Structure 1
Amino acid sequence: MAERLKDRFGAEVPARIAEMIGAVHPAFDRKGFVAVTLDGYEPLELMDRGRAIARTLKVFLPGDYPEAIDILVRSLGPEMNGSDNFGMTPFLYLPHTIFVADNGIDHFEPSMRAQYELTKRFTAEFSVRTFLDKRQEETLERLRMWASDANVHVRRLVSEGTRPRLPWAQRLRAFQADPAPVLELLELLKDDPELYVRRSVANNLNDIGKDHPGLLIETVRRWSVDAPEERQRLIRHALRSAVKRGEADAIGAMGYSAAEGIRVGSAEIMPAKAQMGDIVRIGFSLVNEGEAAQSLLVDFAVHFVKANGMARPKVFKLTSVSLAPGETAQFSKALRLDDLTTRKHYPGLHRIDAMVNGVAMQVGEFVLGQ
């Protein structure tokens, strides 16, 4: 059984935080802090454990917020190097960011200084959203400055922290309604030298496209003019959800046009009757019966049955291919029927389509048993 995230954020975390704070603030009650934090700690999931530690920090640190946050900042360990992935280690600072978000809104400068330092060791993408929500103009002005910071993690924060639909975080409703301030920041970062930052820019654009598909297309068309290869890759990544949704403008922005004369040739789905835990193997061919070569973006969609008995398609990426007149290409995919945290399976008829330049072409079906 896979290790749960909360189990990697156990009793050693508040103990380590107490040790770090005590090293710079000897009056800190280390034992009391740990004891209070661990009371009721075990059943909590990861984020709630972070919140529990943050609440206890407020109790045991000085009541004056600027003094308290200064102690926390002085207690921080070394910065992360480059854009390396350090796994769960930086999550040590999750409670610190929650402490800032919960207590620092009336103390802008010390809070922004703290988030600047925290994001170089973990990320302030969650906490900065409180400031974007409640002190938008001041925070945007600071982020504009940080967009040219020497530290890659600070620059990434400018994009990641302003994502309207950041996973695990509160949505930024103001930016969902009007993403113009976000796009202004992304313009500053679209050619960042670090892939780590550019990937965040792409994810932010992808978020924006879910609420403003036309604005996404307008932006990527503008960015496509004389775009270096790195920016072209960013654009392709930003368009991924729109392409999965079959949006014609997004597919066109990727350089694909309507698939003329393309049809599904042979197709096989095995087994035709499947059970939970089975692997369904999907194979099909596409034939170009037209008179010109065609560039094709090929995905496939499974119409999964939902709890209410209705089916909803989920698109899976396959590949891109060029087909000459009369040419045939083969495609295959294995689909494992296991329940996931993001998808639960229900019995019934599951239709499968090839998605060719955004157009659905029926491949076949299988039945998932009880």
Structure 2
Amino acid sequence: MTPFRIPVAPRSIQKDNPIKFLLDTEAVDCLAHNIGLVHSAFDGHSFKSLALTNIAALGIMDRSAHIAAALKATLPAKFSEATDILLSTLTPPNVHTERLGLSVFFYLPHTRFIADYGRDPQHNAGEDPFDTAMRAQYELTRRFTAEFSIRPFLMHDFERTLNQLTLWLNDADPHVRRLCSEGCRPRLPWGARIPQLIKDPRPTLPILEALKNDPSLYVRRSVANHLGDIAKDHPALAFEVCERWLTNADKDLKWVIRHAVRHPAKQGNAQARAIRLAAGGK
């Protein structure tokens, strides 16, 4: 049994319990406990004081940044050393892809730490932190998701980050394969938009091609949502992809196609409605 703790959390968002409370005193206590088990020099008291000061008014994304800043102040200054400590506290990877509950949000500050401090060599004694950051993204997406934390890297170092996602396309873990699509969605909900991909989404099309027949619905749903993002800004391109995929499409791929064009179809777009009909929809 792992000695590391994560907070108890509901399986879904509760009406009277805002999601921001997933990152509250219990989460900070668990994080301090876990780090203390692997890093004897860690000042857990200072970390908890910094992490909880002025946190009450913050939403969940701002709380993750606030806690990440407290980690930065209390872990070793070198990014790679601090990241090694954080990675050594991780619980085992998720086996399932559905009904994971909200406890996985415990790792949102971990991903924010990588996003905020893993792009600038000044946080890593002048050494390029990219490989360390990508190793962390890989491990964290298997416990939570790195779809938010990979996006600053795409905006900061597009070609190298997109190449890294491409290298993960055949990974055995569906959480990693999903990241390849979800992480570079042009208009990811809750995530920063990627202006380069909103302007020209074609660089991600090879990723969607590689994953469109993935054995995991978890991954295929991301492909559909990614293509749906493209349809918002470049409907002709998205419809062209869908029509090409319709050739010899099995039932799983037809579901991806229907899901990808559902919004323009609801809005009355004739081409989108025709594609849905051809893919077995209404």
- Whether these two folds match at TM > 0.5 is yes
Identity of aligned residues (%): 47
- Residues 152-163 of structure 1 aligned to structure 2 (within 5 Å): 152-163=174-185
What amino acid sits opposite 1:38 in the alignment?
L
Name the structure with the higher strand share.
1
Equivalent residue number for residue 308 of structure 1: none
The CA distance in 1 between the partners of 2:166 and 2:96, in whole Å, is 21
What amino acid sits opposite 2:235 in the alignment?
P
Q: TM-score, normalised by structure 1?
A: 0.68
* 1:2 aligned counterpart, secondary structure: coil
What amino acid sits opposite 2:191 in the alignment?
A
The CA distance in 1 between the partners of 2:19 and 2:42, in whole Å, is 28
Structure ID, larger Rg: 1
The count of aligned residue pairs is 259
Equivalent residue number for residue 223 of structure 2: 201
What amino acid sits opposite 1:171 in the alignment?
R
Whether 2:198 is the aligned partner of 1:184: answer no
Q: CA deviation at 1:150?
A: 0.2
Asked if the contact 2:186–2:195 (Cα under 8 Å) also holds between the matched residues in 1, the reply is: yes
- When structure 1 is superposed on structure 2, of 107-116 and 85-94 the one drifting more is 85-94
Equivalent residue number for residue 307 of structure 1: none
The CA distance in 1 between the partners of 2:171 and 2:20, in whole Å, is 33
Equivalent residue number for residue 70 of structure 2: 56
Asked if the contact 1:93–1:122 (Cα under 8 Å) also holds between the matched residues in 2, the reply is: yes
Equivalent residue number for residue 190 of structure 2: 168
Equivalent residue number for residue 58 of structure 2: 44
Give ranges in structure 1 of 5+ residues lacking alignment.
Answer: 257-294, 298-319, 321-370
Q: CA deviation at 1:8?
A: 2.9
What amino acid sits opposite 1:12 in the alignment?
E
What amino acid sits opposite 1:163 in the alignment?
R
Equivalent residue number for residue 309 of structure 1: none
Name the structure with the higher helix share.
2
Whether 2:251 is the aligned partner of 1:236: answer no
Give ranges in structure 2 of 5+ residues lacking alignment.
Answer: 1-14, 121-128
Q: CA deviation at 1:84?
A: 2.8
Equivalent residue number for residue 95 of structure 1: 109
- Residues 1-370 of structure 1 aligned to structure 2 (within 5 Å): 2-106=16-120, 107-255=129-277, 320=282
Q: CA deviation at 1:223?
A: 0.5
What amino acid sits opposite 1:85 in the alignment?
R
The CA distance in 2 between the partners of 1:220 and 1:164, in whole Å, is 18
Asked if the contact 1:54–1:96 (Cα under 8 Å) also holds between the matched residues in 2, the reply is: yes
RMSD: 1.4
* 1:27 aligned counterpart, secondary structure: coil
Which has the bigger relative contact order, CA under 8 A and spacing at least 6?
A: 2
